[in-house]
């Protein structure tokens, strides 16, 4: 049959599904016409409060004026160059990033996505060590390309064939539901010690790296405590593992620090940045030491992609760093994050289905359960609440943790006001009440 003669769909979503590969299960039922600040607007002009900052990327709000201005500036200069050619914004962004970081994080490369930034770190770690084994956390998310996906242990593995050789995983320190059934409410590092013992038994003696998010987001907002990170660093150093911190969602002020690792002073060998760095545009970076970079260079390291070191996203990155400082985003994240968390804790007192509230800064998690005593999973309830929130004008992302219930991943922009927080919490309150009725 000729495509033009097939039955014409009635709604915009049906028309979209005729030509789009469905890459995320079901598409959202609303068509977004524009976005500004803390809100997105559908085709009817209805304002929807965005508590996920888009895909966790628009950390300073949608279409921040500094980002828009940087895009216009780039359009007057250059958008794209040959991969071997550098431009002033690329050099300056790398210089500024390195200047924000301690010694030992001295050399930077600019790519496009979080997946790419992790691929760079993984490739360099393998080349520098001569090993290939990489340890990650259960529930982690590091990207969708072959290497980063191999060390992603959320729900994206089944059905796609073999992953990269040397992919090992240890339990994440999910204190609310201890993975080794040992402690409750506060991790004592038993899962870490047991995890490394298991990894050692599986290893063929070719360790390269350990990759971790300071807060595991897709795993349900699991914050790695300071003592845990300290011991993790020791265990990595004992084995010659380079430590990679994937700060896709936790950098540029979101947790109340420029970078999440600053809280505990546990410095990685590689720092990868993405989502928040571009403020809504595709921009990512990998940063490592002079020594590792020199070792990789001497061994012929190569990582050429079509849009590596592009001037346009680099210009936006510069605007993001300037805004981070000018608008005191770190302080805003602390203040607004404390306020939002206090409001969520008050909501927990009202609703038995809120089992746990966790996270820090403006990256918070709310776990939905049948009741707090049994902690029985209630994923269907979580999705009913999420759907009702959207109908009422609040975009909320719920991640389903395999084997457990659902966890709301709450990450409004750092520019969110207290009035907007109050509005979001009020809508969530109403959605819970109506979903339980």
- Give me the active site residues, please: 141, 213, 246, 249, 275, 409
Are 276 and 251 in contact by the 8 Å Cβ rule? The answer is yes
Are 192 and 233 in contact by the 8 Å Cβ rule? The answer is no
- Of 261, 263, 307, the closest CA to residue 287 belongs to 261
366: helix, strand or coil: strand
DSSP 184-208: SSS--SHHHHHHHHHHHHH--S-EE
Are 146 and 156 in contact by the 8 Å Cβ rule? The answer is no
Within 8 A by CB and 6+ apart from 381, the residues are: 353, 368, 370, 405, 406, 435, 436
Helices (H) and strands (E) in the chain — how many of each? 13, 17
> 252's torsion region: left (phi>0), alpha (psi -120 to 50) or beta?
left
- Of 15, 316, 376, the closest CA to residue 176 belongs to 376
């Amino acid at each position: 049959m000729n495509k033009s003669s097939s039955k014409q769909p009635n709604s915009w979503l049906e028309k979209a599904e005729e030509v789009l590969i469905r890459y995320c299960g079901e598409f959202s039922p609303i068509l977004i016409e524009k976005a500004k600040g803390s809100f997105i607007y559908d085709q009817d002009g209805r304002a929807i409060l965005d508590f996920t900052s888009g895909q966790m990327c628009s950390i300073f709000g949608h279409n921040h004026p500094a980002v828009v201005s940087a895009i216009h500036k780039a359009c007057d200069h250059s958008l794209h160059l040959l991969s071997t050619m550098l431009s002033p914004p690329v050099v300056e962004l790398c210089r500024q990033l390195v200047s924000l970081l301690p010694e030992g994080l001295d050399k930077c490369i600019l790519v496009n996505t979080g997946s790419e930034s992790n691929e760079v770190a993984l490739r360099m770690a393998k080349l520098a060590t001569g090993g290939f084994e990489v340890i990650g956390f259960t529930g982690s998310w590091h990207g969708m390309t072959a290497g980063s996906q191999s060390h992603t242990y959320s729900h994206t593995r089944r059905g796609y064939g073999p992953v990269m050789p040397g992919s090992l995983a240890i339990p994440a320190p999910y204190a609310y539901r201890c993975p080794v059934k040992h402690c409750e409410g506060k991790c004592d590092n038993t899962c870490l010690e047991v995890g490394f013992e298991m990894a050692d038994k599986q290893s063929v003696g070719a360790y390269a790296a350990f990759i971790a998010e300071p807060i595991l987001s897709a795993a349900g907002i699991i914050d790695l405590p300071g003592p845990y990170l300290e011991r993790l660093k020791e265990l990595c150093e004992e084995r010659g593992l380079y430590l990679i911190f994937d700060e896709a969602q936790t950098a540029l002020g979101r947790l109340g620090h420029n970078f999440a690792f600053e809280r505990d002073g546990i410095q990685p060998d590689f720092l990868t940045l993405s989502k928040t760095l571009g403020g809504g545009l595709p921009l990512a970076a990998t940063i490592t030491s002079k020594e590792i970079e020199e070792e990789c260079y001497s061994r012929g390291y190569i990582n050429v992609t079509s849009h590596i070191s592009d001037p346009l996203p680099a210009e936006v990155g510069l605007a993001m760093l300037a805004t981070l400082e000018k608008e005191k985003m770190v302080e805003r994240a602390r203040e607004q994050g404390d306020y939002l968390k206090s409001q969520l804790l008050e909501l927990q007192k009202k609703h038995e289905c809120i089992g746990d509230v966790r996270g820090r800064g403006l990256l918070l998690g709310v776990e939905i359960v049948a009741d707090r005593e049994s902690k029985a999973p209630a994923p269907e309830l979580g999705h009913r609440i999420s759907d009702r929130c959207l109908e009422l004008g609040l975009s909320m992302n719920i991640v389903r943790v395999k084997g457990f219930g659902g966890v709301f991943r709450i990450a409004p922009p750092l520019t969110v006001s207290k009035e907007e927080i109050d509005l979001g919490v009020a809508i969530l309150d109403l959605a819970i009440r109506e979903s339980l009725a």
